[in-house]
Chains A and B, each alone.
Chain A
Amino acid sequence: GAGVSQSPRYKVTKRGQDVALRCDPISGHVSLYWYRQALGQGPEFLTYFNYEAQQDKSGLPNDRFSAERPEGSISTLTIQRTEQRDSAMYRCASSLVGGGRTDTQYFGPGTRLTVL
């Protein structure tokens, strides 16, 4: 079936605006993860869900960042009052089983966010 999809692929916004990034995981996947990836670096964990429950949000940098997955499928990462330091690639990943440490995570293509 289809892989993880994310939209938009590119987002340019002005400082102070709110943005919403969408992730559509692989159908049937229980766990959904959000990561942020700076240029040339590996992904950095932000938050994760099992079904609709947010299990861990310890990686969210501050309270301007929030995420939801209300029906246990599509997830939205929202950044309020964006700042230039928020510019990065935001990647979503999903895995079949609930948050297992040995589960393969399948990554989406990412949303490249640029805050001017």
Chain B
Amino acid sequence: ILNVEQSPQSLHVQEGDSTNFTCSFPSSNFYALHWYRWETAKSPEALFVMTLNGDEKKKGRISATLNTKEGYSYLYIKGSQPEDSATYLCAFPTGGSQGNLIFGKGTKLSVKP
């Protein structure tokens, strides 16, 4: 059974702090790793799809790295702002040719002004 783990479960930071959190996934049969940002009462918003070992992607103050050999990805937020408060989900496609995703439970980030 594929398992996607995220840590920490929740994180409280002050505005301006930089932060990071982890997604762990099976390192065998790697296809891709997806990151989503989800605000309660809204739809999950796609951030990144990462495919190559050593990949680093950036979107504004948010960036992510990927290590497929050891099975982890880090998401970094530089200079956190209150509007960054959300749950950050990572997801791993199941095997075969299908794109259905297995999601982690997410890291809930709260940024205090």
What residues make up the interface of A, taking CB atoms closer than 8 Å to B? 3-4, 31, 33, 40-45, 48, 55-56, 59, 91, 95, 99-110
B89/A33 in contact, CB under 8 A: no
B81 CB-CB contact with A under 8 Å: no
What's the Cα separation between A91 and B42 when bound, in Å?
11
What residues make up the interface of B, taking CB atoms closer than 8 Å to A? 31-32, 34, 36, 42-46, 49, 51, 89, 91, 93-94, 97-106
B103/A99 in contact, CB under 8 A: no
A101/B105 in contact, CB under 8 A: no
Query: Closest Cβ of chain B: how far from A108's Cβ, in Å?
Result: 6
B103/A43 in contact, CB under 8 A: yes
B97/A104 in contact, CB under 8 A: no
A45/B100 in contact, CB under 8 A: yes
- Identify 14 new A-B residue pairs, CB closer than 8 A, beyond the known A43-B101, A101-B99: A31-B99, A33-B101, A42-B103, A42-B105, A43-B89, A43-B103, A45-B102, A101-B98, A102-B31, A104-B34, A105-B34, A105-B99, A105-B101, A107-B45
